[in-house]
Structure 1
Amino acid sequence: MNYTLLKDAKAMSGFISAIVLSIIGIGLAMKDNSYWVFFIVISFVILMVSVFRADKLYQGKGR
């Protein structure tokens, strides 16, 4: 990661929210709650969108 990505609020909030949703999903799975699947799937979707945004920012910088 470079500074351009680290200062982008949307990309970083996406990464952080994906991590938090994954932790919530794992906690729900440990409590045998069936909603854990929803949190894990949403976490993967948010992570995918954040990675695409990070790639776009990194490629747009021109290295």
Structure 2
Amino acid sequence: MKKLSIYKVFIAYLVLVLSYFVYVNATGTRILGDDKEEFDPNEGRTGTSSGYRGSRYYHK
């Protein structure tokens, strides 16, 4: 009897998670961040810098 109850809870959890992803996809909501590319790799620095990790690049 207890295994049947755990099975029902697991199925309910899967339905909840899958329905959340379907809703997010249908509404076009982004889950992890946004597409804003406001990061400026040079942020007010002038000239070139040398050495380890002298440059930062934004990779999407």
> TM bucket by the smaller chain?
0.3 to 0.5
Higher alpha-carbon Rg: 2
- Greater length-normalized contact order (CA 8 Å, ≥ 6 residues apart): 1
TM-score between the two structures when normalised by the length of structure 2: 0.44
**If each structure's helix is expressed as a fraction of its own residues, which one has the higher value?**
1
TM-score between the two structures when normalised by the length of structure 1: 0.42
